Amino acid sequence: VEADSAWRDEVRRLAGERDAVLLAHNYQLPEIQDIADHTGDSLALSRIAAESDASTIVFCGVHFMAETAKILSPHKTVLIPDARAGCSLADSIDAAQLRAWKAEHPGAVVVSYVNTTAEVKAETDICCTSSNAVDVVASIPADREVLFLPDQFLGAHVKRETGRDNLHVWAGECHVHAGINGPELAARAAADPDADLFVHPECGCATSALYLAGEGVVPADQVKILSTGDMVTEARSTRARTVLVATEVGMLHQLRRAAPEVDFRAVNDRASCRYMKMITPAALLRSLREGADEVHVDPAVAERARGAVRRMIEIGK
C-alpha cells in the first residue's frame, strides 16, 4: 500500500511536470484506470484527446489508439507506455490488402473500425468505433456500396442493424472477443435466466446472444449489444441483479464502480487482452520519466487519415 501511494504520487507529479493528460481504455489494469484523468471507450478517448489543452497525451491503451490521438493532434507529444501494445484485429488488414479490395469495388465507401493502422485509415473514407458504427453506416446514402473492415462480427452487427445488403465485410477478428463463444454464453445464460447480457459487438457470440433472445431462452430486453463505454452507461440504469459480461475482463472494474450493488460476471474469465495488459504501473512510470515511447505517424499519412478520423468523432455526438 505504501509503495502504491508512492507510485501514485510520482505518476501525478511527473504528469504535472510534463503537462500531460493520462487517458486509459476500459480494458486497462485497475490501477491504471484509477490513476488516469479519463477512462473510457475508444470514441470517448479520441474525443477527449482531440479537445485536451495538455501538450502531452499519455495513452494507456493500444497502439492504434495512440496513433489516432496523434493523427488528430499532430503538434502534441503522444506517448504510449509500451509501444509493443498492438492489436490482433488491427493486424488483420494492411494498406495493400485494402487497396486491392477497393480495386474490386470501385466507388464503394470505405468504413474502417478505429482498430486499424494509420496507413489503413489513410485509405479510408470514414472511421468508426463500436459505439457509432451503426450511425456511421446509416449516414451513407443507401445506394452506395460500403466496404466495412476489419471486424467480421461488428460488421455482421452493423449489417443486421442497418438492414443493408450492399455492405461487404472483411473477415478479420479480435482473438480475445472471438474466443468468447456462443455455447459458453448459452450455458451461462441458461443457468442464470434473470441476468442481463452485456455483449460487445466484436464477440463471436453476439449473434448467439440475439439467437437466444429470439428463441426465448433469454428475454429480448435483457440482451444488450454495447460498446465498452455504453456498458458503463447501461450499468447505471439496469434493474438486473446479475449481469453476464461478454468482453475483455478489464471491463469489470468500471462496471463494478458504476453499479456496486450489481453482480457483474465475465462470460469467459480468460478473455484478457495481453496487449492491453502490457501497460503496467512500472511501464507508465517509465513512460513519464523518460518521455517514452513516443508515437510518430508519418505526416503525409496522418494528413490523409485525418478527415476519416474527424468524421468519426463528429458522427453520433
Per CB under 6 A, contacts with ligand SF4 among 169-228 are 174, 176-177
Cell matching residue 232: 458503463
CB closer to ligand 13P, 41 vs 67: 41
130 binds ligand 13P (CB under 6 A): yes
DSSP letter (8 states) at residue 226? -
Q: Where are the alpha helices (DSSP H) in 80-131?
A: 95-104, 118-121
Per CB under 6 A, contacts with ligand 13P among 297-316 are none
89 binds ligand SF4 (CB under 6 A): yes
CA distance 149 to 228: 19
Considering the complex, what minimum distance in angstroms separates the CB of residue 121 from ligand 13P?
Answer: 15
249: CB partners within 8 A, 6+ apart: 27, 266, 269, 271, 272
Q: Which helix (H) or strand (E) holds 116?
A: none
Per CB under 6 A, which region of 74-82, 129-137, 261-269, 288-296 contacts ligand 13P?
129-137
Considering the complex, what minimum distance in angstroms separates the CB of residue 44 from ligand 13P?
Answer: 8
DSSP string, 117-152: -HHHHTT-SEEE-TTTHHHHHHTS-TTS-EEEESBH
**Of these partners, ligand 13P, ligand SF4, none, which one is at the site of residue 88 (CB under 5 to 8 Å by kind)?**
ligand SF4
DSSP letter (8 states) at residue 172? B
CB closer to ligand SF4, 35 vs 89: 89
Whether the CB-CB separation of 58 and 23 falls below 8 Å is answered with yes
68 binds ligand 13P (CB under 6 A): no
Q: Which helix (H) or strand (E) holds 72?
A: helix 63-72
87 binds ligand SF4 (CB under 6 A): yes
254 binds ligand 13P (CB under 6 A): no
234 binds ligand SF4 (CB under 6 A): no
Per CB under 6 A, contacts with ligand 13P among 175-234 are 202, 227-228
26 binds ligand 13P (CB under 6 A): yes
CA distance 128 to 115: 9
Among 33, 46, 88, 152, binds ligand SF4 (CB under 6 A): 88
Among 208, 246, 275, 305, binds ligand SF4 (CB under 6 A): 275
Considering the complex, what minimum distance in angstroms separates the CB of residue 263 from ligand 13P?
Answer: 22
**Of these partners, ligand 13P, ligand SF4, none, which one is at the site of residue 26 (CB under 5 to 8 Å by kind)?**
ligand 13P
Among 28, 39, 115, 287, binds ligand SF4 (CB under 6 A): 115
Task: Using DSSP, state whether 73 is helix, strand or coil.
Answer: coil
18: CB partners within 8 A, 6+ apart: 55, 56, 288, 291
User: In the block, which residue shows the cell 499532430?
Assistant: 74
CA distance 192 to 110: 41
Give every strand in the sheet of 242-246, ordered side by side.
223-225, 196-199, 242-246, 263-266
**Of these partners, ligand SF4, ligand 13P, none, which one is at the site of residue 228 (CB under 5 to 8 Å by kind)?**
ligand 13P
129 binds ligand 13P (CB under 6 A): yes
For ligand SF4, the binding residues (CB under 6 A) are 62, 87-89, 115, 174, 176-177, 248, 273, 275-276
For ligand 13P, the binding residues (CB under 6 A) are 26, 41-43, 115, 129-131, 174, 202, 227-228
